[in-house]
Amino acid sequence: MAKLLFIPVSITAGLVAGLVGKKLFNGLWGVIDDEEPPDSKHRDISWGRLLVAGAIQGAIFRAVKEATDHASRRAFYRTTGTWPGEKRPDPE
């Protein structure tokens, strides 16, 4: 039941994470380069700039996603008393 109740919270947290990650990436890229971030749809870009931008963007998005997901799970737990997910990873 907790998983079902957590779905709207998770969707909202994911949308917020995407917006925050995009703002952080654009702000950081503005410090790195004066031009807009390269996009794979652009024809005249260097592979180096494209891969660096992708790596930075991926790291930022993943960190923000994990932080917002964990924070939303903690808030859900504080509100309902039920943790939506596993308590710890499975042992190897």
- Predicted model pTM: 0.81
pLDDT value, residue 79: 92
pLDDT of residue 60: 97
Question: Which two three-digit tokens encode residue 39?
Answer: 């996009």
Take residue 49 and report the two structure tokens written for it.
């700039």
> What pLDDT, on a 0 to 100 scale, did the predictor assign at position 16?
95
Tokens of 80: 């309902």
Say what the pLDDT of residue 86 is: 83
Q: What is the per-residue pLDDT for 66?
A: 96
What tokens appear for 35 in the block? 């031009």
- SS3 of the chain: the string is CHHHHHHHHHHHHHHHHHHHHHHHHHHHHHHHCCCCCCCCCCCCCCHHHHHHHHHHHHHHHHHHHHHHHHHHHHHHHHHHCCCCCCCCCCCC
Q: What is the pLDDT along the chain (92 residues), one digit of tens a residue?
A: 778 889 999 999 999 999 999 999 999 999 999 999 998 998 999 999 999 999 999 999 999 999 999 999 999 999 999 999 888 888 87
